[in-house]
Amino acid sequence: MFWNLFNRLPKPFAEGLLPAQDGHSIYYYEYGNPTGIPILSFHGGPGGSSRAKYAKLFDLKKYRFIQYDQRGCGNSQADDIFYKNETKYLIQDAMHLLAYLHIDTPIIVHGVSWGSTMALLFAEAYPQTVKQIVISSVFLARPEDYGWTNGESERFYPDLWDEMRREYKHTDFFEAHNRLLFSKKEQDNLKALTYWATYEHKLGQLNPQFKTPSELDEEFLKSARIAFYYDRHQFFITDNQILRNIGKIKHIPTIIAHNRLDFCCTVKQAWELHKALPKSTLNICAGSGHSTPSLLKEVKKMIRHAEKQEK
């Protein structure tokens, strides 16, 4: 069964911390063939962490699959998780990791959701370094893209928005969430983690309900704070930065997959990216939800098909 396939997770053949820079020590993992074709995978979020399941998309006898936890995330360490924690520094960390691992040949970049954003930004920053792009659940991080989650999605979930407004008891909804999320009071943190911090994960569900955690999860709190921090700063990129710089990567073969009914990142983002990349292949999957098992199965098929086309 497909679920079993992705539940049998591979073990890294190497992992560790990069030497600290800017007060951040970045944790990385390597899977597969140590001499294989390198793949650099960017995790989701912002605020997420590396996931071994994505290594299963690739033939690990052939590829060297590399992930790293972005600043403040996962097993990465920081004196202050917000100090120099911006998108440009995350991309610099990726280059430092490649240099640390003595990788100087063209690589494949991979990412899901925010990871797709990072993969595209990295490719545009270092197009000579990237030979292929493999992304799904595309997020272009434009105002209209995060504006969907932060506003327009209320059209489908007015009951959830009404509940959040009642609970937050504040005219400025986002400022109220900011106060609760960064409060030193555990009860405030729990309220923030109950509502807005989980709202994105409710999108696409037919009968979503908020549920207060039984206890404070410090890792979830850290992740939610980083996510909100990036959201409040427009993800530290300029307006429409990816599509404005798309000419830099038009020559790179790109695999794109997206669920038709992805209510977290709307499919129009994947469509507009595909139209801007002449060497891209897009599969709009007949599925609902964000990064789902069925979508990953389609990505795996697309990778195998592309490999056969190369032969």
309: confidence class by pLDDT, cuts 50, 70, 90: confident
Q: Are the beta carbons of 150 and 138 closer than 8 angstroms? A: no
Q: Are residues 99 and 203 in the same domain?
A: no
User: In the prediction, which pLDDT does 244 show?
Assistant: 98
Is residue 42, in this structure, part of any structural domain at all? yes
Is residue 14, in this structure, part of any structural domain at all? yes
Task: Note the pLDDT tens digit of each residue in 196-218.
Answer: 999 999 999 999 999 999 999 99
Residue 240 confidence (pLDDT) above 90: yes
Residue 3 confidence (pLDDT) above 50: no
Query: Number of folded domains in the chain?
Result: 2
Structure tokens at 241: 């930065």
Taking residues 222-226, what's their average pLDDT?
98
Q: Which amino acid is at 49?
A: S
8: confidence class by pLDDT, cuts 50, 70, 90: confident
| Catalytic annotation, residues | 113, 262, 290
Task: Note the pLDDT tens digit of each residue in 112-134.
Answer: 999 999 999 999 999 999 999 99
Task: Note the pLDDT tens digit of each residue in 43-70.
Answer: 999 999 999 999 999 999 999 999 999 9
| CB-based contacts of 137, cutoff 8 Å, min separation 6 | 112, 113, 116, 257, 258, 259, 262, 264, 265, 290, 291, 295
Is residue 245, in this structure, part of any structural domain at all? yes
Q: Are residues 43 and 100 in the same domain?
A: yes
Is residue 188, in this structure, part of any structural domain at all? yes
Q: Are residues 128 and 226 in the same domain?
A: no
Residue indicated by tokens 């106060």: 179
The sign one gets for the Cα dihedral 74, 79, 80, 83 is negative
Q: Are residues 225 and 285 in the same domain?
A: no
Choosing from 202, 235, 268, the residue where a domain stops is: 235
Q: How far apart are CA 71 and CA 136, in angstroms?
A: 22
Residue 2 confidence (pLDDT) above 70: no
Say how many residues make up the chain: 311
Choosing from 187, 209, 235, the residue where a domain stops is: 235
- Residue-averaged pLDDT of the chain: 95
Structure tokens at 45: 């979020």
Is residue 147, in this structure, part of any structural domain at all? no
Q: Are residues 115 and 179 in the same domain?
A: no
Q: How far apart are CA 200 and CA 194, in angstroms?
A: 12
Q: How far apart are CA 257 and CA 255, in angstroms?
A: 7
Is residue 13, in this structure, part of any structural domain at all? yes
Q: Are residues 50 and 191 in the same domain?
A: no
Q: By CB neighbour count within 10 A (0-12 exposed, 13-18 middle, 19+ buried), where does 295 fall?
A: buried
Q: Are residues 114 and 61 in the same domain?
A: yes
Taking residues 68-90, what's their average pLDDT?
97
CATH number at residue 89: 3.40.50.1820
Q: How far apart are CA 34 and CA 118, in angstroms?
A: 24
CB atoms within 10 A of CB 162: 11
Q: Are residues 187 and 51 in the same domain?
A: no
User: In the prediction, which pLDDT does 1 show?
Assistant: 39
User: In the prediction, which pLDDT does 169 show?
Assistant: 87
Q: Are residues 129 and 29 in the same domain?
A: yes
Is residue 146, in this structure, part of any structural domain at all? no
Q: Are residues 22 and 162 in the same domain?
A: no
Q: Are residues 172 and 99 in the same domain?
A: no
Choosing from 194, 220, 235, the residue where a domain stops is: 235
Is residue 231, in this structure, part of any structural domain at all? yes
Residue 6 confidence (pLDDT) above 60: no
Q: Are residues 168 and 287 in the same domain?
A: no
Q: Domain containing 78: what range?
A: 2-141+238-310
Q: How far apart are CA 56 and CA 9, in angstroms?
A: 7
